Chain A
Amino acid sequence: MQPRYLSSTAGRIFANYFPPAPEAPVRSRLLFIPPFAEELNRSRHVIAAFARGCARNGIGVMILDPYGTGDSEGNFADARWNIWKDDVGAAITALSQMGDEPIAIGGLRLGASLAADVAADHPSRFSRLVLWQPVTTGQNYLKQFLRIRFAADLAEGGAATQGTKKLMEELEAGKIVEVGGYDLAPALAKSIGGIKLGPLGLAAKTPVTWLEVVAREDASLSPAASRIVKDWDAAGIEVNARPVKDEAVWLLPARVEMAAFVRAAVESIGGGR
């Protein structure tokens, strides 16, 4: 583990690099972007386990905390989508300075969508786009995020619950909305609301590994994921999409290890035996 700070547009950002084991030849490097807000806290240990698994197999993984999140500088309220894209750029530069090996980019949930957006700006720059349960439609994700605030009001038994519609209106009026301790800025909400994964992947022209957590052994990809994968496939983009039976760690209040998922994730980018 090599924690470091990188300089980016809005301030210093934290990146944790898991170098390949000395005995393993370096095959590639991966920049991994965690999810957003509370989903990050709940999934951090699983992402670290994945990075260690990759490192044992010759794949160096850098985990980035974009500006205003995790251990990076800045307040969440000051985070903007474009600042985050700059942060990803700074991390890619750092990775490319380590050697000439191919660089892949990926993430979990909103981090996966951010990775896809950066890949779309640089078609064919990355050896692979790794998507774990990516946010496919930003508008639905935003609604779901705002619902956490509504649900928190419910859980506290408060009568003065703010419906998501009302919260959405506040954002549109330019007000910051607080959700579970995170101050969401209207500008960031607008960027998130505009995400459409389908077109981003088409623009990226990058081979994709797509993993989705499912509840049953025999379950297939969700209809939303299947639709996008089919489009990409038709456009000639190589997509390796697979459902993995495990628990959706980023949602669970109790810590789960997701061992099956981590194993599948390491394998899926060529790290397995």
Chain B
Amino acid sequence: MSVSEEVRDVLAQTLQLGDRAQDFTDTTLLLGNLPELDSMMIATLLAAIEEHFDISIEDDEISAETFESFGSLRSYIETKLAA
């Protein structure tokens, strides 16, 4: 499974998006565009990403831009995985 597919899966499961997440591409906007993505969900999503990819996310590494689009989130995770 590619990182893109895995990120789609984690998003779909955490935010309960069902099949909607399957159409996500790098340009799909997340923050401000997905009503599901409120503050509680962002916190939950961060925990789900940490667990799924077995990475530790420090708050000062992320900003609103990280969650701007599917592509920005995917790219952040890929950078973490390569580190």
User: Which residues of A does B touch, CB under 8 Å?
Assistant: 38, 144-145, 147-152, 154-155, 157, 161, 163-165, 180, 215, 247, 251-254, 256
Which residues of B have CB within 8 Å of A145? 43
A25 to chain B, nearest CB (A): 39
Q: Contact: A154 with B16, CB < 8 Å? A: no
User: Is B46 an interface residue, CB under 8 A from the partner?
Assistant: yes
Contact of A144 among B32, B38, B47 (CB under 8 A): B47
Which residues of B have CB within 8 Å of A147? 42-43, 46-47, 59
Contact of A155 among B16, B38, B47, B60 (CB under 8 A): B38
Q: Given A144-B47, A157-B64, A164-B59, does the pair A151, B42 have CB atoms closer than 8 Å?
A: yes
Cα A94 to Cα B41 in complex, Å, equals 37
User: Which residues of B does A touch, CB under 8 Å?
Assistant: 13, 16, 31-32, 35-44, 46-47, 58-60, 62-64, 67
Q: Contact: A154 with B42, CB < 8 Å? A: yes
Which residues of B have CB within 8 Å of A256? 16
Q: Sample 24 A-B pairs with CB under 8 A, ordered by A number.
A: A144-B43, A144-B44, A145-B43, A147-B43, A147-B46, A148-B39, A148-B42, A151-B41, A151-B42, A152-B39, A154-B31, A154-B39, A155-B32, A157-B64, A161-B59, A163-B60, A164-B59, A165-B58, A180-B40, A247-B16, A251-B40, A251-B41, A252-B16, A252-B36
Closest residue to A149 on the B side, CB-wise? Answer: B39
Q: Given A180-B39, A251-B44, A254-B36, does the pair A155, B64 have CB atoms closer than 8 Å?
A: yes
A220 to chain B, nearest CB (A): 15
Which residues of A have CB within 8 Å of B43? 144-145, 147-148, 150-151
Q: Contact: B40 with A155, CB < 8 Å? A: no
Which residues of A have CB within 8 Å of B31? 154-155
A226 to chain B, nearest CB (A): 14
| Interface of chain B, main secondary structure | helix
Which residues of B have CB within 8 Å of A180? 39-40
B81 to chain A, nearest CB (A): 21
Q: Can you name 20 extra interface pairs (CB under 8 A) apart from A38-B40, A145-B43, A154-B42?
A: A144-B43, A144-B44, A147-B47, A148-B39, A148-B40, A151-B39, A151-B41, A154-B31, A154-B64, A154-B67, A155-B32, A155-B38, A161-B59, A180-B40, A251-B41, A252-B16, A253-B35, A253-B36, A253-B38, A256-B16
Which residues of A have CB within 8 Å of B44? 144, 251
Closest residue to A251 on the B side, CB-wise? Answer: B44
Closest residue to B61 on the A side, CB-wise? Answer: A163
Which residues of B have CB within 8 Å of A247? 16
Cα A39 to Cα B55 in complex, Å, equals 26
Closest residue to B59 on the A side, CB-wise? Answer: A163
Which residues of A have CB within 8 Å of B40? 38, 148, 151, 180, 251, 253
Closest residue to B45 on the A side, CB-wise? Answer: A151
Closest residue to A154 on the B side, CB-wise? Answer: B64
Q: Contact: A155 with B63, CB < 8 Å? A: no
Cα A38 to Cα B41 in complex, Å, equals 12
Q: Contact: A215 with B13, CB < 8 Å? A: yes
Which residues of B have CB within 8 Å of A252? 16, 36, 41
Closest residue to A253 on the B side, CB-wise? Answer: B38
